[in-house]
A and B are shown apart, each in its own frame.
Chain A
């Protein structure tokens, strides 16, 4: 997996073959040359070798969101290298090198790495320029870096980076490190194809599910179907008859940790086999007796009750509550609404999997994880081995969306490998990933508003998932707002939690953007203009959330996306028969996204014809990938709005596979047009900001079409008939 080893391997094959490869790569045809190869690693992101190979070590995980391509573009631009010449490696988990910044979530990859990566690349470039200046006896100011070479201005004198290493590796960094001007960027701001495009088109991108180690066995686990249940006994006699089954063993769970990314492995029974299929078949043949535990009788209706209870006597945490309360005492009328969203599951196309080789004193792991650094920390805690004994290789994954930030699926492989003393690959069947996974929580959000005698809103009050407005307030509107303590289930989770693309912003956005629409209707105003006016009444809100800084909220930025989307989607202009529009506006971290959905409802059936979206994500590093992320977010959100729900009965998930948890398909995919606001602000995230806004845009369009307010997703046809 290590690029350097692979290069050596290539060269050695060249030597043994005695062919052209040898003469092309090692001019003097001598193996001892290998030892003189200078391999300079000025920082953890860059490695330059005297054969001019430049390697970019990508700290962030790649799961399809395009961060690795964006980071490579930043690197190539600031260093002065050709993007296509950069060799890619994904850095194994390392707290020492990258802290937990390496762990990729919250649409933070480019946002957090933009500045440090530029500084690392610029420092390297300046050292190389200094080396050339010394070598040539020229002032630095006459030199610049381009295409992996240092060049002299106004002459054709040039020298490749690789030939400067002997000097460069002994230099200190200059005291002034200038960063490049935007006008000098060759790649940033251009649409660049994903660096993995070709490998994917050839079917050759290696995922961890493709890993095969010598002596490796394949495992599948039947996990307890009810969260917090336990294993009583099992009969494996039928399972053992299946050809290829090697062993069947009980699997202890792990405790869910205070930081819920760690732990929470369900107890179960593991089938060990010679291939994946035998392990899956063996699992089906098990006869298991479970103690289903405290959740055995529960369903969502119990959760709803718990949330309602949590709402009574819930205390106010808002800092502008006096203004809010005053608005409620002045109000002539109260408008109330609640919005319900079900459990959801990530259903990444690559089912969860991990390969672990625990040999007693060190552990090597291959897993497409979003959190290689956190994984290493957790596996160290679990095995009582020092972090230095744990290697977490982090190949690209087949989708993460938050789920792969959690470590449980790696813990399973490590536990089994420790027990079996050989490499183990644990593969989740699709049924496992739908029915015994970790889930985006079921939520109900409660909103109310005080209206004056003209039905104009005076203030809002909210009970739901978002709390602590002093630390984080994604609320952009200029109306006094009473926040309350976060609503929680009194008896804990019915299903364990996972992050799901946009996380708690999804229920929050659903409630807020539907309720604002309801207020506009009550006030007799156009819903888009109503939002614009409220944004004008709002002020910049500086967040205090740490360690992530910069979540400041600029209502005028949101307003700009809303104005633009109105223009682009032809808001207020006449549409085809039966087509109605709904709008939403949403701030997510430092990104802003407004959307308009064109929808028709015929015989209770909702059809989304088109979605127009405008995003302000600061400087768009790679517009093609920004657009893919917004398109993907909308399609993700439409699956949840129109089709999917995870439902619980007697503590167990009812859905089993894609036949009953069916994602949006190509035929159902609307036309999507994405526009990017031109901005020179630092880049912010694009992987999630468009998710929360799509359900409200569609529901608001459904109201425009039918006059019916749907406050629960996915939309049920029966709510629109009758």
Chain B
């Protein structure tokens, strides 16, 4: 009964989303006040119906209703409750529901928080969001219905991939999806602006908080995913340039560009057409990224052919969304008037440079990700593009971004000179050079340069704030007064910039990581990865739905108590799958990381790592997101919207 209710609610949400797509946009076109006023109600109605549907799906998972095909294939009665709940969106069908639910939440948020928007603009934005929802809900109903029944019902389900039974991964998809889908709002604003034929500073001010909120969530989502790969896969790396990872990085890159170009629209009314195009590109990349990956086309062309209906639907949907919006852009963009004039060397100029470089990075990442697919389809050459390609192309393009992102914020708008700007942050440059030189005594040239660059970004962010409050140049009291008067967004930007520096420092440290594969007998002591390790014993242990083999090891450190670690291998009973559980001890400045491999003749194969600075990689992501969150709290972003209290996208399913 409950699954049927969910199915009905899903169909209802689909019908409502069509109404939400058609009525408000038609109303805004015809200037029909009644239809314009119907938009928020329709958005909330769709959200409510979809919420019921999603709840029914979670319910079916929690009560182990194995007569539902989706539950039978992906769940098991032995699975812990947390993973029964999170497992409902850990598969294809469920993830589409989660996606649509977050999209509906965006619509609801625009309806709820956008009361100060002009009625017609709000109606159009909600209409565009409704049209996207309609596409997904139709896709879900027609090709991936999560409520399909199975008869006779099996006694138990097939269980979820054990790799996914992990708290990190339980929260990674909703976070990432919220980031992806959040970019639907700037996209809807862009389409609405094209329909209206008007982009102005206030448009920039409305778009920015939505972009910022999605960007924060996407940043957190990517960092969580990378952290999960680090500790759960047990390979010791944090980023593998895998198509799935690249699919999340691409919207982040263009989203970051959008965030910065929206500032120019808001402050200077320049770059309007470009910003509209970026908003379209970012959402298109979110869409195509997830769906190309979800459909399996990027990993294997054949998986795509397994279910032609899904593949064709996805391609059709992508074609309509991307092609349609670009067509609209081509027709309407010339009508948007060009904005303010600025010199190449100016704050605007620095932001243009940021946009050009970020888009270039996105372009090489797309090239590297898609090339194997094209080469297989067109040239019939099987090849893969791995980390060396991305390192060789992304790093040289990222270096100027790092160099410029510190100088940009201290340059004035409209017209600036490079030398005075540099002189204002001379001490950041001095710190960077010193850090680089100190690192050079202990590390090779490239990591040392990266450490210098990281110091440049962190010190530069501090220099920006110090410069704004004229510290040491005005009496301390005046500086304090300036500090209090500084907009929160200024702190947010500085913190986010520093966060990137923290991440870069982490990556530089990880490039110095040492690892060694060893064969150890119980009771033996060995030297590996610069540390002394002792394997005390190998024992067996039983968990809720797995049996595991645990290595009890100690790291012997001079002058400190021994460090006990317990890496293990888990054999999951329901799925005949083994996972390696790495043991990680972090000091904040380095990770000691041990992985247990197979056993031969009583000895264990182990891979032992020493990863300097590793935690900083994800810490930096968190700092960036916090910076973004602080900017969201800025009153200036809420001008005319005193009612808004919280981050509009904070909730996820």
* Chains A and B form a bound pair: no
